[in-house]
Amino acid sequence: MARKLIKKWNPKYSKTSVRLAIQDVLSKRSYGDISREDKLFVTDVLAECDRRYIEKNPINDKVN
């Protein structure tokens, strides 16, 4: 019996595309520009993404 192919999610998005997606979602819930709290939310989400990436892929500061 043939197996059903399952599409896998590709998590390699740029920070710009993530920022734009979050801003689009936040702007749909209110009229006009996003608020200061929404901008802080976007910044916090991107900072958390960076933190998790660094935890998963440690940076070696050794100079050869």
Per-residue pLDDT, 46: 87
Residue 45 belongs to some domain of the structure: yes
Range of the domain at 49: 32-57
State pLDDT tens for residues 14-40. 888 888 888 888 888 877 788 888 889
Per-residue pLDDT, 13: 77
The token pair that represents 44 in the structure block? 């916090």
- Give yes or no for a contact between 34 and 26, defined as CB atoms under 8 angstroms apart: yes
Cα separations (Å) of 37 from 16, 32, 43, 46?
A: 19, 14, 10, 14
d(CA 38, CA 27): 9
Three-state DSSP at 30 gives: coil
Q: Is the pTM of this model over 0.75?
A: no
Count of domains for the chain: 1
d(CA 50, CA 54): 6
Residue 50 belongs to some domain of the structure: yes
Residue 9 belongs to some domain of the structure: no
Residue range 3-14: mean pLDDT, rounded? 68
Residue 51 belongs to some domain of the structure: yes
